[in-house]
Structure 1
Amino acid sequence: MEIRLDYMKVSPDSLQTLLKLEGYVQKSGLDQKLVELIKIRTSQINGCAFCIDMHTKDARAMGETEQRLYLLNAWREAPFYTKSERAALALTEAVTKISDAGVPEDIYEVTRRYFDEEQFVDLIMAINAINCWNRMAISTGMVPGDYQPAAHK
């Protein structure tokens, strides 16, 4: 596979816009391991190999277990996720596939049990951010494999 075009060179402003959105998510106070699970699950749904590669590497660098990463696409059947993570993953799937059924009331209610109003908005921003990154990566043909995570604290 070859990259179709390097959007970062063609349109640096588009990259800066995505980075601003990413910066918002990073400063939101959401647990960073949860944010990585959101990024991976969204990327699985969207079929973004580049982002799956990137975010599984980032999650591992943060100490995420192989077992939880391997079973993320079957999180409902796996006992390795907390109730709050399950709520966030259900919201992730609903927002990513929003044209299917919107965000059903039961998903909203369960998510709100674990996340306050501001955190709920932050979750939506995190989900929207990775959906934007996925769409850019898939549309421009970004190729997985070369990404190396930065050292995490």
Structure 2
Amino acid sequence: MARITYNDIPNGMFEHLRTIEDFILNSSLSKQLIEIIRLRTSQKNGCAYCVDMHHKELKHMGETDLRLSSLCVWEETPYFNENERAVLHFTDALTKLDRRPISDHIYNELLSFFTKEEICYITLAISQSNTWNRLMKTFEFTPGNYKANE
């Protein structure tokens, strides 16, 4: 059972977060890449509710079982292209901060594939996913019940 239910959440809180979600989704980034970011962030944070949600969303988008099951070990697989690998590297670094700035290597890797504007959106998508993960870890919404939009 959830610690905090939808009825306990202050009016407007989720709506404001969803406004940011819409802002990200209306960027030039593909929805699939955004969902990969969300799933990887959720894996790194151990957020079962969000892992369930984003796995189902990616599956609904046609993502393969091989890539979905391998995302947790992406660095060891050949299943992700170079721009996805750059984003995943950045996602891992930004999700688990180590008190140092993001390295030039990681940032420059992104510049090889994305504009500075797109890097801003990627950064916001990672940050937003981390926010949702922290909320769900606190609220303890039950994983498994999410249904992907059909």
Which bracket does the TM-score occupy, shorter chain normalised? over 0.9
1:89 paired residue number: 88
TM-score normalised over the length of structure 1: 0.94
2:60 paired residue number: 61
Between the aligned partners of 1:65 and 1:149, the Cα distance in structure 2 is 16
RMSD: 1.2
Q: Does 1:127 align with 2:143?
A: no
**What is the percentage of aligned positions where both structures have the same residue?**
35
Count of matched residue pairs = 150
Farther-moved stretch of structure 1 (4-13 vs 53-62): 4-13
1:4-153 matches, within 5 Å, as 4-7=3-6, 9-151=8-150
Superposition misfits of 4+ residues, deviation over 6 angstroms? none
> What are the Cα deviations for residues 34-89 of structure 1, in whole angstroms up to 9, with x where unaligned?
11110010000101000000000000000000000000011011000000000000
Between the aligned partners of 2:141 and 2:99, the Cα distance in structure 1 is 27
Structure 2 unmatched runs, 5+: none
TM-score normalised over the length of structure 2: 0.96
Classify the secondary structure of the residue corresponding to 2:36: helix
Q: Report if aligned partners of 1:94, 1:101 keep a CA contact under 8 Å in 2.
A: no
Classify the secondary structure of the residue corresponding to 1:70: helix
- In terms of fraction of residues, the more helix-rich structure is 1
Residue identity opposite 1:51 in structure 2: C
Task: Give 1:97 deviation, angstroms.
Answer: 1.2
Between the aligned partners of 1:114 and 1:12, the Cα distance in structure 2 is 39
Classify the secondary structure of the residue corresponding to 1:64: coil
Residue identity opposite 2:5 in structure 1: D
Between the aligned partners of 2:24 and 2:133, the Cα distance in structure 1 is 16
Between the aligned partners of 2:111 and 2:53, the Cα distance in structure 1 is 29
